[in-house]
Structure 1
């Protein structure tokens, strides 16, 4: 199956389209040139088609990982029991870090793509942060790796242009003079230079890999970026129809930061700058107020919900039901492989389905399997500006499909396929993964890359990488006492918890 013309016959299908959604139906699917050209109860094979027997098979749109960071692949399983701000200091070290080589970035990106495809993820939204800044060669390494392995992706140059100390409300007073001097000496991105870089990247990667890979803009967060940078990137995104991907209200610290810096919430601040719209994806959105949710709904912005990362970092619980009731588009993301330690979206889908069952006693408002599957497919596609391209099985869309073997353990005994997929399946039942009509995994083997060679090289470089990480961690752990002092000050601030949707609803608190 090397071509892009296929016929899948008589399969159980979750189309995720507006008519059948996650309700299983029996369908045959014709794919020509990577595009879905027919979805019917029965279809007859035509000359030149690779025929895939759909008996005992479940066909679904590939998952869209609406928020991840490939940088963190090298920091998997190093850190535990730290809140976000402390954790970032060690997983994105600011002291002593030299730029990574394109060669290491290729290995890192390949690792993320391998684990993603093996778990039924066909699209990544990769918010790529390089420290101290991203070069054209580093960005090209990500694009080239994803091109060769065959995955679909939005790829950013994650950027900050405010000095590090200015990202936090109380850090300046918590640092000793030597620490302050070291942090003030860090290189800060020049706003104009970065806007020119982003414009060039948007043009360079406009139709890269036949349109499968696109550049997106990634201003890190409101408190880490100047208004000039955010407005400039918003204009660029609107001009080129790119995703504008930004972290907003992930932690209580960030909720306090909004009040301290702007006298309003972060969402209100972004809205005042005019940078919210349908092209915007807000990562996390935990500490949202009810009025914030109204603004997001009115502007058409999406939220990427990242439940496993939020749980590991103790960040809080996003207001799933309030966001859905308001009409806000929701995607699902793994976040990076240091804050969640995996790129497997099946775990995120299950976590999203389970987590919100403890946020209120009214079981009629708990997430349904159909809702979380929609968020993991079509919702993520919409947040990535790919809603007309992928996310559902419909005529005219690209064939990004995953085929599950329903004779496998996770589907035995066979009951409701959509419930098996949400609660039982972990990637072990995947038979075939297809991106743009090209089979990129079949019979438990990736067809586009020597997976064993990638893993062997990373394992061989393990001692070198751990020495490098240990050194960086030692340097940056020296700042943790100052972060603790700031953390205690944040936690001492009176925050009316019931003002924040995801927390006022938590009946177990």
Structure 2
């Protein structure tokens, strides 16, 4: 049969062999990523058949992307799956008084869900689509619990699993749970409230969800235990979580070492850092993925390395909060596996790589402390190591066909010498041309399979506007919205 040059339909895994070619191919030779000029990638079904110079066999179709890089899809270990509320406090500080920490008065009245179930389901679908637009093929979704009654629900995660299957995104899913939460009392002091029974109920719900949904979509849906933030969990819940993770063979994501408030609260509650506390519980091991690490001590980092814990690095979010990892290069040199994460909108991994590179060089005070390739490796192979999935994060025979194609024909990125350096320095997620996940075309030129992005953007904005109107309920002293969120310049 003749070879086709037509792009397959969105959402379809085409029959037969598909050959992808471009000016640059980033393959994996069994040891590291390697470039091929005008290389060829052949996929068949869900997997990569060949990655290298000219393919000698027959193919059903040839897809030539021209001035572009064919790359392994990016892995996001902390991918936002709701509408980013941090945008409200970027220039409205302090954030704790503007809904980032719930006031005692709100808790006494009774916290409530600020989004309807159908709104939460839509947000997962919308967020997953934006991940694909940015070349992310594997994601561990994260959402804020600030506007929740207590924790995430199985219902919304069933909707998330369905969205991942429909859109074609590989996900590691499990509803977040906790046994406590931070609040601010009438004097402005931070306090904790605990309800361990609710924490164990959340863990039970997550286990049930994973047993029922893991493996759906031919392997697109995978399990994850997500016990929110370290200070919001009791020792009993953390021990039970790690035991369940072993039984289910799934990763655990736990936010820790991410801010001064957490450090102070861990000292108040346990008299030690998060890492020290978890080691003492026997709950610090290779299954743990720990965002963000900017407030980890040198001793903590030693424990990360000793126990095989992965650090999920979100340099853009950390820098916006006034902190940096100290440092990416130093932590990596100590043997800690580092993966990348976006944790914000837009989920632009290239922007995070540039911020991470800049922050590392500033922290180290030298321009050769780290290089673009180090951060790209973290965004691919580092994420795959965190998930114990050698079939992800690389383009080599037998690997899953999770592929991102990034354009290099943007005038702002010309001339191109090394495509990774060029994309890190001058690119962003908007240059993502195409994304294949599990061998199917999930995104092409801004279009996502089965999803109207323009219509969805309007719906997302309307939902966010509705949330903003409720912020006085959940903010300290309950001022009106106009006082909570002021425009950058006076509005006339």
TM superposition shift of 1:129: 5.0
Partner of 2:487: none
Question: Alpha-carbon deviations, 1:400-421, whole Å to 9, x = none?
Answer: 1111233332442221111112
Partner of 1:126: 141
2:300 paired with 1:292 = yes
TM-score by length of 2: 0.85
Partner of 1:275: 283
Question: Alpha-carbon deviations, 1:83-134, whole Å to 9, x = none?
Answer: 6755662699966432633321222112212221111111111134552233
2:362 paired with 1:358 = yes
Q: Which moved more, 1:319-328 or 1:446-455?
A: 446-455
Instruction: Report matched runs for 1:254-403 at 5 Å.
Output: 254-337=262-345, 342-364=346-368, 366-383=369-386, 385-403=387-405
TM superposition shift of 1:196: 2.0
2:140 paired with 1:143 = no
Indicate how the Cα distance of structure 1 residues 361 and 471 shifts in structure 2: closer, same or farther if over 3 A, else same: closer
Partner SS, residue 276 of structure 1: coil
Partner of 1:218: 226
2: CA distance, partners of 1:300 / 1:220: 20
1: CA distance, partners of 2:338 / 2:207: 28
Partner SS, residue 100 of structure 2: helix
Instruction: Report matched runs for 1:144-159 at 5 Å.
Output: 144-159=162-177
1: CA distance, partners of 2:144 / 2:285: 23
TM superposition shift of 1:77: 2.9
2:80–2:127 contact (8 Å) kept in structure 1? no
Indicate how the Cα distance of structure 1 residues 475 and 282 shifts in structure 2: closer, same or farther if over 3 A, else same: closer
Partner SS, residue 219 of structure 2: coil
Partner SS, residue 27 of structure 2: coil
Indicate how the Cα distance of structure 1 residues 97 and 16 shifts in structure 2: closer, same or farther if over 3 A, else same: farther
1: CA distance, partners of 2:28 / 2:96: 37
2: CA distance, partners of 1:84 / 1:123: 31
2: CA distance, partners of 1:189 / 1:97: 19
1:146–1:153 contact (8 Å) kept in structure 2? yes
2:69 paired with 1:61 = no
2: CA distance, partners of 1:33 / 1:248: 39
Q: Find 1:241's aligned residue among 249, 254, 279.
A: 249
Unaligned runs of 5+ residues in structure 2 are 1-7, 480-492
TM superposition shift of 1:304: 0.6
Partner of 1:504: none
Unaligned runs of 5+ residues in structure 1 are 166-170, 481-509
Partner of 2:489: none
1: CA distance, partners of 2:95 / 2:239: 26
Q: Find 2:217's aligned residue among 201, 209, 219.
A: 209
1: CA distance, partners of 2:41 / 2:284: 38
TM-score by length of 1: 0.82
2: CA distance, partners of 1:477 / 1:418: 45
Partner SS, residue 303 of structure 1: strand
TM superposition shift of 1:285: 0.7
Partner of 1:473: 472
TM superposition shift of 1:216: 0.7
2: CA distance, partners of 1:266 / 1:35: 40
Q: Which moved more, 1:279-288 or 1:409-418?
A: 409-418
1: CA distance, partners of 2:84 / 2:324: 25
1: CA distance, partners of 2:41 / 2:95: 44
Question: Alpha-carbon deviations, 1:34-67, whole Å to 9, x = none?
Answer: 20111231114525x2311254331111111111
2:48 paired with 1:46 = no
TM superposition shift of 1:375: 0.9
1:16–1:374 contact (8 Å) kept in structure 2? no
Q: Find 1:107's aligned residue among 102, 108, 122.
A: 122
Indicate how the Cα distance of structure 1 residues 447 and 172 shifts in structure 2: closer, same or farther if over 3 A, else same: closer
2:293–2:325 contact (8 Å) kept in structure 1? no
2: CA distance, partners of 1:17 / 1:232: 40
